[in-house]
Structure 1
Amino acid sequence: MITKPLLILSMLLCTGAFLFAQNNSKNCECPANKFAPTEPQAVFQFSSGESIALCGYKVDDDNRKLFSEFVLTVCGSGTLIDFWDASLLCEVRSVEDTLFIEQIASLPIGVDFAQQDVAWLIEKITMNEGELHRTLQLNREVRKYEPSEINDVLVQYEKADSIPNEYNMTLAGRLLIATISGNEKARKYFMQFRERFGILDGAFSQEYHFLQTMLEAWDSDKEVVY
């Protein structure tokens, strides 16, 4: 699973009439910081005249412009808006006067439970008379399982041995999707997962914890405004 978020987002798109990206602009640098270089990878200009620069590291991808470990700053402010760390894989795109930062997660929602990258957490940044506004919400349009798929996942879990391994860890992701698809038995199995497979520490524990935080966010059903 890609964990570089929970990781927003696809291409830097010049889709709007008011907000667009310029690559490697020398007119707006990020302030010196301990997180990322100061040279911008892109600068997004708002119709009000303000600009936001993105400074950080591109992630190799043939089809998308992805970023990880990056910062944003309002040009000329001398301060950072925020920092997105190396655990997050993000795609940034602009639509009119809104900047979208979408954290990408790899979820088993493809054919035959194949992993598929999807925007899981979406942040929107806007500027209004010099004031910056941010909202953060889950992508609740993530594909849900059909009843037959949920049944397959439940059977896979019930027949699995109790040894922590790569295959059994894939079941955790499938149980997560079955749970957000509305199945209470899948939720019960998901909550018992750590004890069932003896996952106490290490990479498997971190992966399961990440899935737990995803479910907690889904259950909260709240849009964060800050």
Structure 2
Amino acid sequence: MTNLRVPPGRAGRLWLRHRLATAERGAELLEQKSRALREHQARLAERARAAREEWEERAGEAREWLLREALAGGQRELRLAEPAEPVEVTFTWTTVMGVRYPADAAVTGTPMGPPSTAGSTAVVRTGRAFRAALEAGARHAAAVRAQRTVDAEIAATTQRIRSLRRHWIPRLTAALRHAELELEEQERAEGIRHRWAAAHQTRPSAERS
């Protein structure tokens, strides 16, 4: 926390009141954001769990088909089935409560070549299984990234709330209380001086009369 540079007098009191109100409002908004993100976090965690289960299932099926093709056609057919172009994964993004993360993933291309090149329908099924596994893996990667991004934002938001509630707001509150006490003392002293001055102004006229 930086040192407070409070203007003197009544301007300082107004300055502190404004800063305190801003800090309290900021903490309330951050707490609302944190609650909303935590609700969203639960949905993202469930989505990541389901995506992982699907990915593991599809990957297991792809391994089974790969083993079948290796036993049926050998390594030569598998080499012939290698794709000419690389497979690409594209992520679509979304923003929730100011947090940007991947919402979904799409796969373009095929992980294995066409049946005319491979010469076996088992290769086609193997390719389909691998594509399904790749798509499931991409969705799982997007879900995990989304969950981790929101987790990090929740942690950062919690830290900002803690900083406001435990440090900044108490400092502003204490400074405002101190400023108000000083102003009360000044006003009390001014009142005493005014009464003393008024008493000394009326006393000579009373003595002359």
Normalized per residue, the structure richer in helix is 2
The structure showing larger relative contact order (alpha-carbon pairs under 8 Å, at least 6 residues apart) is: 2
Bigger radius of gyration: 2
Determine if the TM-score, normalized by the shorter chain, exceeds 0.5.
no
TM-score range, shorter chain: under 0.3
Normalized per residue, the structure richer in strand is 1
